[in-house]
Amino acid sequence: MKKTVTIAFANNKGGSGKTTSCANIGYSLATLGKKVLLIDGDMQLNLSLSFMDEEKVLEYATSEKNLYRAVKEQKDLKDYVINTPYENLDIVPSSTLMSSIEYDLFTMWQREMILHNILETIKESKAYDFILIDAPPTLGGWVMNILCASDYIVMPVEASPWGLFGVANMFDFVDDVKKINKKLELLGVLITKVDARKNYYKQSIDNLREAEGVEVFDTIIRVDAEVEWAQDNSKPIAVHKKSSRAAAEYLETAKEIIKKCQ
Ligand SMILES: Nc1ncnc2c1ncn2[C@@H]1O[C@H](COP(=O)(O)OP(=O)(O)OP(=O)(O)O)[C@@H](O)[C@H]1O
Ligand SMILES: [Mg+2]
């Protein structure tokens, strides 16, 4: 029987490629025929901006139809789903009000489980093969909610000294979350923003691949100037430029994810 697989894109290190990976893996999974729901869990609205222009994103952010409203009022998330322009790909947009979510969660009963609970109907309906959640660069109660609602974590890590520095903190946090969500697993570390002109990335990759119990995706995501042009146009990289290196690498990563989740 088909199951909906929920994956959090999380790493407390800012700018590690969480949103870029979530958006483009989501799009790639959809082109591979999978039904995908994206959830923008960050007040920066970057996942929403990956698919809709600024005007539209701000319209959702200030309306009743965003993730913040659903969490704060503990409403069924199925009523907050928006179609993207792409087949098989839907999204729950975010709001800048997510900046106060930690404060709002504080007084809620079983506050780690709010997102898990409001996602239940969608998961039970089996309308989606994958739910991908873009997490903000923090390690608080809200990211705990995201991880408690997830089966797996994809952890984008930038192949730089400071990119690797925070990995241990993230793993400690995941161990804490596992006390509540026992089934949570690291699907893989995804090495991102690799600049092949520099040598350091080779050492980062070796360090990660040799670390005990750390699953690392075979595909690495290299720096590609087309990524920012695509984001400037609110389009997935493969729609902006199908022949780009990043489009091909994200498609390969999506195939790896399908294989790992079988
Ligand atoms: N493969 C790539 N090539 C070039 N630029 C990239 C690539 N991946 C990401 N970037 C750029 O790096 C920056 C950070 O990426 P992104 O926003 O995806 O990271 P993030 O982890 O979601 O950040 P935050 O922690 O702020 O949410 C963005 O400006 C993005 O355009
Ligand atoms: Mg982000």
pLDDT band at 165 (very low <50, low <70, confident <90, very high): confident
| pTM of the predicted model over 0.95 | yes
Query: Residue 163: what pLDDT?
Result: 84
Q: Residue 21 Cα, ligand 1 centroid: separation in angstroms?
A: 8
**If you average pLDDT over every residue of the chain, what do you get?**
95
Query: Residue 149: what pLDDT?
Result: 98
Query: Residue 139: what pLDDT?
Result: 92
Mean pLDDT of 8-32: 97
Q: 22-26, 122-126, 166-170, 184-188: which range is least confident on average?
A: 166-170
C-alpha–C-alpha distance, residues 169 and 185, integer Å: 16
Percent of the chain predicted with pLDDT > 90: 87
**Choice between 166 and 157, residue whose per-residue pLDDT is larger:** 157
19 lines ligand 1 (CB under 6 A): yes
Q: Which domains does the chain have, with CATH numbers?
A: 5-261 (3.40.50.300)
Task: Give the residue, by CA position, lying nearest to ligand 1 atom 16.
Answer: 17
Whether the per-residue pLDDT at 1 is higher than 80: the answer is no
Mean pLDDT of 58-75: 96
Which residue pairs from 168-177 have beta carbons closer than 8 angstroms and sit at least 24 positions apart in sequence? 169/12, 169/139, 170/10, 170/11, 170/12, 170/13, 170/139, 173/12, 173/139, 173/143, 174/147, 176/144, 177/144, 177/147, 177/148
C-alpha–C-alpha distance, residues 248 and 171, integer Å: 29
Mean pLDDT of 158-181: 90
50 lines ligand 1 (CB under 6 A): no
C-alpha–C-alpha distance, residues 46 and 21, integer Å: 11
Mean pLDDT of 86-109: 95
CB proximity list for 73: less than 8 A, separation 6 or greater? none
The pLDDT tens digits for 224-243 are: 999 999 999 999 999 999 99
C-alpha–C-alpha distance, residues 216 and 255, integer Å: 14
Query: Residue 164: what pLDDT?
Result: 84
Distance of CA 218 to the CA centre of its chain: 19
Say which residue the tokens 């969500």 belong to: 181
Side-chain half-sphere of 211: how many Cα atoms within 13 Å?
Answer: 14
Q: Residue 96 Cα, ligand 1 centroid: separation in angstroms?
A: 19
C-alpha–C-alpha distance, residues 170 and 199, integer Å: 25
pLDDT band at 199 (very low <50, low <70, confident <90, very high): confident
195 lines ligand 1 (CB under 6 A): no
Q: Residue 129 Cα, ligand 2 centroid: separation in angstroms?
A: 23
Number of neighbouring beta carbons within 10 Å of residue 259: 8
C-alpha–C-alpha distance, residues 87 and 204, integer Å: 37
219 lines ligand 1 (CB under 6 A): no
Query: Residue 18: what pLDDT?
Result: 98
